[in-house]
Homo-oligomer: A and B are copies of this chain.
Amino acid sequence: MLANFSIIPLGGGESVSKYVAKVIDIVDRSGLNYQLTSMGTLVEGNWDEVMGVIKKCHNVTRRLVPRVYTVITIDDRKGAKGRLTGKVKSVERVLKREVRK
């Protein structure tokens, strides 16, 4: 499955990049495929792998600030793998087909 998550620390000021850096470090060490965007982190794996990483990221942030707000979206499709790049390619194929018409 594919997940996108954002961890928002409350009570630690408006800049969050120092917390994001800790989170990315955890994701990077997990060995899972991931992508960092301006609005969150995409990660691919099974439920326990993905949720294990998000739990660590959430907890490390909660130790630094008194309140954490976390948003997770999951897209889980039967038999689908390599979707971190595959989904974008699939849309690009459709776009090219449309243009050809």
A residues at B contact (CB < 8 Å): 2-4, 6, 8, 10-11, 13-14, 16-18, 20-21, 24-25, 35-40, 42, 47, 51, 55, 58-59, 62, 65-78, 83-88, 90-91, 93-95, 98
Contacts and interface: CB of A to CB of B under 8 A. Distances in A.
A58 B69 contact: no
B47 A37 contact: no
A26 to B, nearest CB: 12
Nearest to A71: B73
Contacts of A71: 71-74
B66 A77 contact: yes
A77 B37 contact: no
Given A47-B55, A74-B58, A4 B37 contact: yes
A68 B13 CA distance: 12
B74 A69 contact: yes
Contact of A10 (B8, B17, B39, B90): B8
